[in-house]
A and B are shown apart, each in its own frame.
Chain A
Amino acid sequence: MKLNIAVCIKSVPDPEWYEKITIDIKTKTITRKGIPSIINPVDKNALEAALQLKEQFGGKVTVVCMAPPGATNELYEAMAMGADEAALLSDLAFAGADTLATSYTLAQGLNKLGKFDLVLTGTESADGATAQVPAQLAEWLKIPHLWNVKEFTFATEQELHAKVKMDDAVGEYVIQLPALLAVSREINKPRYTTAMGVMKARKKTLTILNKNDIDVNKSLIGQVGSPTWSGDISIPSLARKGQELIGTPEEIATQLIAKLRAAGINPAKRREGDGK
């Protein structure tokens, strides 16, 4: 069994830098100048899962990303980590896409690139975090999907057995191939990219596809193809006027207990109450 696997990754501003994000009051746009882009962290887990499958069963791993041209860096990095090939879907006409238009574009890109047994993604992106692209991509590809997968194995050559993170629970599912799995960060620990990997990456194939290269319906891409649009944006102020407790640790603890009391928290009363 050889697997043809696609991994969809997103290029996102480094979450370590989110404190530096500001809003341009005049244009109502988000300023992220000077903030470096990285591969969306959980997408590396998706890539790791793909690489492990390739090591186990053989096959090919293709990384796909829809982004402006600068994202070739992230694609080379993915190939340095071990992916065999990469494709960047890049066109001004793709800009301003919401999750539905993005997933449509990705789906058309994937259809152009070949027939994949398995499409892997991360559960969500660090920036927008809508978590909607995986499900919608699967819909456009007309394949089944599972979201928030923390573990999966092959039940048969055509069927996967997956554990899915639910709320305070774990669901178990079987899913038929071809399928899309959106994996969570628990699924593995992404490998480090090695010096050898970095050097090999530039010798691998990176294809850049624009709107004419992939067969797209122009009314379904970019801002035009997006049912949703963004209105006002703001940076909420959450500041509280705090009071500082000072003194020796004993004094601080005593003051804090008094504060808790004042807020109506009293362990003694609570215990009586529990006895009812």
Chain B
Amino acid sequence: MTHQGIWVVAEQTVSGISRVSFELLAKARELKEQGGLQAPVTAVLLGENLDDYYSAKLMEAGAEAIILVDHPVLRYFQNETYAAVLKSLVEERQPSIILMGATAAGSDLAPTLGAKLHTGVSAHCVDMRLNEEGHLVAVVPAFGGKVLGDILCTNFRPQIATVRPGILGKVICFMHKQCPVERFDIADILAQDQSRVKALGITYEEMKGVPLEEAEIVVAGGFGIESKEIWQQLETLAAVLGGAVGCTRPPLDEGWAKESQMIGTSGKSIRPKVYIGMGISGATHHICGMKDAGLVISINKDEKSPIFDVSDIRITADAATILPLLIEGLQKNEDDVIC
């Protein structure tokens, strides 16, 4: 087959490059080694003002070749424009595998590109490997993570897959000297771009404390948190522990938590050192998002909660009674040390 090599479509964010891009580069290097592939792992980055910082970062994370597409039009994600650019790049260079983060942009871009190229796309994989024939085997969750299935695309190239941020976890710092950095000109493509969708701007949510997916400690609350006051105590506990607050659907519906705090298949996948679930019963789609946590502590009134089956420490109690005691206990110890 003429298609060769693994591409990672990296994503520019307000503060640099999204972490999942680095996770994908580490995975791409692993796949390359596993399959004994020759072609370099190539990072493709679309954005604006892509200076040396970006290529250095991508190289450090494992890119062996870099294609930068730098243009003011690419400042914000626009599915039509981004897909048109990638389509012409792919048709020209013919990679075998394309990996993207299953971010908001990636989840939209991958299927759009897949349809344009008439090839298969595996959505939000939790793992991937190469089989004996060298085809990509993408492990994809279904039914809220209850079932895992292998997805293959053997007759079409490239094989496209998106991966949820945080699922692969590892970011590796590679020590290598130089890699070719190419700047791809898109003037011709833009000339043909119909641009029926145009971005006007993007507003970032104000982040409180540590981002959920980077926190070492996550305190998450669910249906069993019965009032806003108890929810605020839960936030206090997270602050005392220096952690982040996560949630399931009910606190979000109550308006106590934000969409960006939701853990699960329709939210974020996390792998903190410690996860403390309060009043969370443990529906499959939530468990799918927190199963990789180090120490799992669960507090729930209902002794039959499924979350207890996936917990290291189980406490059958009302979160409302334990919360103030924990906060008090932790703060007291803190003062003791300082005095």
Contact = CB atoms under 8 A, between A and B. Distances in A.
Given A146-B197, A229-B154, A231-B137, A135 B333 contact: no
B142 A166 contact: no
Interface in A228-276: 228-236, 238-246, 249-250, 252-254, 256-257, 259-260, 263-265, 267-271, 274
B199 A135 contact: no
Nearest to A145: B79
Contacts of B322: 249, 252-253, 256
A236 B148 contact: yes
Contacts of B79: 135, 144-147
A8 to B, nearest CB: 14
A6 B76 CA distance: 29
Interface in B125-147: 137, 140-147
Contacts, number: 275
B245 interface: no
A168 B207 contact: yes
Main secondary structure of the interface of B (DSSP, over half): mixed
Contacts of B104: 147-148, 164-167, 171
A118 to B, nearest CB: 13
A194 to B, nearest CB: 23
A227 B157 CA distance: 9
A265 B211 CA distance: 18
A267 B333 contact: yes
A124 B200 CA distance: 25
B287 A238 contact: yes
A144 B84 CA distance: 12
A169 B114 contact: no
Contacts of A249: 317, 321-322, 325
Contact of A228 (B141, B153, B325, B334): B153
Contact of A243 (B149, B154, B310, B312): B312
Interface stretch (A54-62, A67-75, A76-84, A125-133): A125-133
Interface stretch (B51-59, B177-185, B288-296): B288-296
Interface centre among B144, B197, B198, B322 (most CB of A within 10 A): B197
Nearest to A253: B325
A157 to B, nearest CB: 15
Contact of A253 (B146, B240, B329): B329
Interface centre among A143, A228, A230, A260 (most CB of B within 10 A): A228
Main secondary structure of the interface of A (DSSP, over half): mixed
A246 B313 CA distance: 11
A214 interface: no
- 6 shortest interchain CB distances as A-B pairs: A227-B120, A231-B150, A132-B111, A228-B120, A253-B325, A139-B115
Interface of A: 13, 15, 18-19, 21, 23, 30, 98-100, 103, 124, 126-136, 138-140, 143-148, 161, 164-176, 179, 186, 226-236, 238-246, 249-250, 252-254, 256-257, 259-260, 263-265, 267-271, 274
Given A174-B200, A267-B333, 8 more contacts: A128-B142, A169-B203, A228-B152, A238-B309, A242-B311, A244-B316, A259-B297, A260-B330
26 contacts: A19-B306, A30-B143, A98-B120, A127-B142, A129-B265, A130-B121, A131-B111, A132-B111, A132-B123, A133-B111, A143-B196, A144-B196, A165-B104, A167-B103, A168-B260, A175-B196, A228-B121, A228-B122, A228-B153, A231-B149, A234-B148, A234-B149, A256-B326, A260-B330, A267-B333, A270-B242
